[in-house]
Amino acid sequence: MINKQSLWFLTLFSLILVLSVYYITMPNELLLTNNNLYSKTDSNNKEEEETTEDNSKVTLEESDLLVSMRVSLEEERISLMNDLQEQLTNSETTVEEKNNAYEQLRYLNQIQGTEEKLEAKIKDQFQLNSFIKIDNNQIQVVVAKDKHDSTLANNIMRSIQEEYQEKMYITVKFEK
């Protein structure tokens, strides 16, 4: 049986893990505490946008489809995490079931961090907003772009596969 002390430890450890992943993936602008520094970077960005408008400016906006996909995946994962946490706190479940629930929670946190890392990689390399869902060895990528480009899809698949040693089944879909 799991005692209260180890249950508290697991709860606090998972909370720290989630917060650290959130902190690592947080944009740098949110970390600035001085408003003057933030307004200076804001005015610098506006100046850069004005100079790049003449040179065919590229706009990066989050697609409504990508946002809705993220929200639905997040809701699905939150409900699954709540079920797993209930298993952990239930006194009638066996130690093996609690261990399995804990491992699944760790796996979900790891997958979520990997998805965010891959989305950031696509944004850095290809300047495209994307949504990534990982399910075992299948990775679904939805890119916010009008034009369907097979060479771009191939390059995205290769850059994602670089992160893994084993073969992953990667699908890339273009949506606007």
Cα(25)–Cα(18) distance, rounded to whole angstroms?
11
Helix (H) or strand (E) holding 32: none
pLDDT, tens digit, for every residue of 116-165?
A: 999 999 999 999 999 999 998 899 999 988 888 899 999 999 999 999 99
pLDDT of 7 strictly over 80:
yes
Tokens of 53: 């408008």
Full residue range of the structural domain in which residue 120 is found: 4-175
HSE, side-chain direction, 13 A CA sphere, residue 58: 7
Enter the pTM of the model.
0.61
Structural domain count of the chain:
1
Q: Mean pLDDT over residues 5-23, rounded?
A: 85
Predicted confidence (pLDDT) at residue 23 exceeds the cutoff of 80: no
Distances (CA, A) of 159 to 68, 140, 141, 149, 152: 25, 14, 12, 16, 11
CATH number of the structural domain spanning residue 119: 1.10.287.4300
How many CA atoms, within 13 angstroms, populate the side-chain half-sphere of residue 41?
10
Q: What residues form DSSP beta bridges with 100?
A: none
- Residues belonging to the chain: 176
pLDDT digits (tens, 9 = 90+) for 64-77: 888 888 899 999 99
